[in-house]
Amino acid sequence: MNRFVLDCSVTMSWCFEDEKTSEGDRILDRLIQEESKGIVPSLWRLEVVNVLSVAERRGRLSTAQSLVFIDLLAELPIVVDETPPDFKDILLLSRTYGLSAYDAACLDLANREQIPLATLDKKLKGAAQEMCTPLL
């Protein structure tokens, strides 16, 4: 089974029509049709919920649409890594590459598990390339 770290930028591209990309769709297809599994840091759930709640407040999504999206995510082969990240490692990655703590946690997880990272975020892609972390 192929595993990869899935970040929130890819996840949320599946939710919003104006954020859809061929790269994001390719990753979703990989989860649905292939024997692939997305691995996410534990804070991924909070990051997804934060994006959904902000989108609801701004009128981009209804409550019903948010709930449908959460149900979709629950059906996908996405595994939450519950291993607590090392605070110092996350802070160092965040500082070194100018990443949010969320993005640093994804990069840290990809490196710890030695698996590719799936992201649409340019800054995170650049950091991964500098660290020789494979991208999906």
Q: What does the alpha-carbon distance between residue 126 and residue 108 come to, in Å, rounded to a whole number? A: 14
Give the pLDDT confidence score for residue 84 in this predicted structure.
Answer: 85
The percent helix, strand, coil of the chain (3-state, each to 5) is 60, 15, 25
Give the pLDDT confidence score for residue 96 in this predicted structure.
Answer: 96
Mean pLDDT per 10-residue section of the chain, whose length is 136 residues: 92 94 93 89 94 96 96 95 91 96 95 96 96 94
Give the pLDDT confidence score for residue 1 in this predicted structure.
Answer: 60
Q: How many other C-beta atoms lie within 10 A of the C-beta of residue 36?
A: 19
Task: List the domains of the chain with CATH numbers.
Answer: 2-130 (3.40.50.1010)
Q: What does the alpha-carbon distance between residue 65 and residue 62 come to, in Å, rounded to a whole number? A: 5
Give the pLDDT confidence score for residue 35 in this predicted structure.
Answer: 78
Give the pLDDT confidence score for residue 33 in this predicted structure.
Answer: 85
For residue 116, CA distances in Å to 12, 34, 80, 86, 136 come to: 19, 16, 16, 20, 5
